[in-house]
Amino acid sequence: MSSLQHHSNWVNGAHQPPAEGRIHVINPATESPLFTIDSTPSSTVSTIIQSSLSNFSSGIWSSSSASDRYLVLSKAATLLRSRLPHYIRLETSQTGRPIREMTAQLSRIPEWLEYFASLARTHEGRVTPFKGPVVNTLTRSPLGVVVQITPWNHPLLIAIKKIAAALAAGNSVIVKPSESAPLSVLEMGKLFQEAGLPDGTLQIVCGYGRETGKFLCESPLVAKIDLTGGLQTYAAIAPNASKNLIPITAELGGKAPVCIFPSVPVEKAVKAALFASFIASGQTCVTGSRLLVHSDIYDEFVSLMVERTKALRVGDPMDERTQIGAVISRASVERCASFVMKAVIENGNVLCGGGPTRVDGKGFFFQPTLIETSAESNLSCNEVFGPVIAIIRCKSEDEIIQIANSTSFALGASVWSNDFSQAHRVAEKIDAGIVWINGHHLNDPSSPWGGFKESGMGKENGIEAFESYTKVKSTIINYGQEPTWFDDEVENARYG
């Protein structure tokens, strides 16, 4: 273990000397150690935040022109695109996701840098319709030092989504990647440096969330926190952020319904459900974890869905033929197993899968699992974050809508119907931040991403994300109204 390569924090344009504490990163498909990273203590975190604040205050990036930001982010996109084969293999080894999935996902990541580069260059201020001979201009400026806590399931995608928006707006950024899959994010420091980003504008700090992440989020010097994680993580950081008046964007999970209606051919419906449910072994925030199937096609759908699920190829994530890779850890395997056990106790019917498996005698794998259950069951209401999927028979359109809205999560949902009116009617009534019609997992840098209820607050992607990394100033110019005092006419007065 001592011979493992160590990857230190990226701070002020260089990899720092290794911290005293180290974290071992494991390949979930082989259970073999890959490398070590820093476990960053609170004293070091404080120094990094101070350094980032100095960077922001210097204006080297925060006061740079829109065209300069455009050029840096555009060049970063070009560099990232040229190195995708390296990052694809790295992400596969860190996460256990099949290389075919990572190839598809990572090929699109440079688009986020290009989109926010263009937005930085073209986003304009406003002039409001202020009453009287007054002009009110609205201008946006960066917030300051922003902290981003990113997850292990889409390490580079989610990090770049956040980093691109924050840098485009002119902020100084501190990223804390997941300790389970940090290296692809950690390597972004050098890439952005090559693209021309001033040193100290992007800091990448490793460590456990409960320690390093907590230290970062507790600092009163931070201007914004952007978190992708669980509700427990949000609950841990929110009170202190509230005390310090720090805004939070939080994407906290989901329990996405896949609403399947009889107008969709069963073969197509099954393909849709397989894609929605088992991409990333069910380890995404919008996994189609509840299949709400209309009773008119339920039996035929379930029969074919079970057949196709059993045929999915679980295997070595580096093999192009593999369809289902590993889950992230032994704890994840145990969590999946506990959901299956609870579902059985609640009279759920395990149609296929249901337990751990191995590839060549090793790895954290779980069989793709389908369980027929009720809408009120533990499996139907709570996030598994694994390949354990609930199937629910629904008698009507109204029941599908009611069940779709019955959980505390409201991030994503998909509606599958060839009845145009029905598809839009149902989508309108589903309470979720993202509703796909005849699609699932569709994403684009221009499309706001975020949920309602316990799925979180705020948005990634789009103008909404860019603007959330800015503060707005009103400059009010009086060019024709005489001042009015206490003893003068007050008909046209303005009051603060």
Distance of CA 229 to the CA centre of its chain: 8
Active site residues: 251
The burial of 228, by beta-carbon neighbours within 10 Å (0-12 exposed, 13-18 middle, 19 or more buried), is given as buried
Which amino acid is residue 423, in one-letter code? A
Dihedral sign from CA coordinates of 201, 207, 209, 211: negative
Q: How far apart are CA 53 and CA 201, in angstroms?
A: 9
Distance of CA 5 to the CA centre of its chain: 28
The burial of 361, by beta-carbon neighbours within 10 Å (0-12 exposed, 13-18 middle, 19 or more buried), is given as exposed
H or E, element range at 282: none
Please say whether the beta carbons of 382 and 336 come within 8 A.
Answer: no
Alpha helices (H) along 323-438: 330-345, 378-381, 397-404, 420-429
Running DSSP on this structure, what letter comes out for residue 23? E
Q: How far apart are CA 1 and CA 451, in angstroms?
A: 41
Q: How far apart are CA 50 and CA 54, in angstroms?
A: 6
- Please report where in the chains the tokens 């935040």 appear, as a residue: 49
Which amino acid is residue 44, in one-letter code? T
Which amino acid is residue 95, in one-letter code? T
CB atoms within 10 A of CB 155: 24
Please say whether the beta carbons of 9 and 157 come within 8 A.
Answer: no
> Distance of CA 59 to CAs 76, 141, 402, Å?
21, 12, 52
Running DSSP on this structure, what letter comes out for residue 323? S
CB atoms within 10 A of CB 84: 16
Q: Helix, strand or coil for residue 74?
A: helix
Q: Helix, strand or coil for residue 402?
A: helix
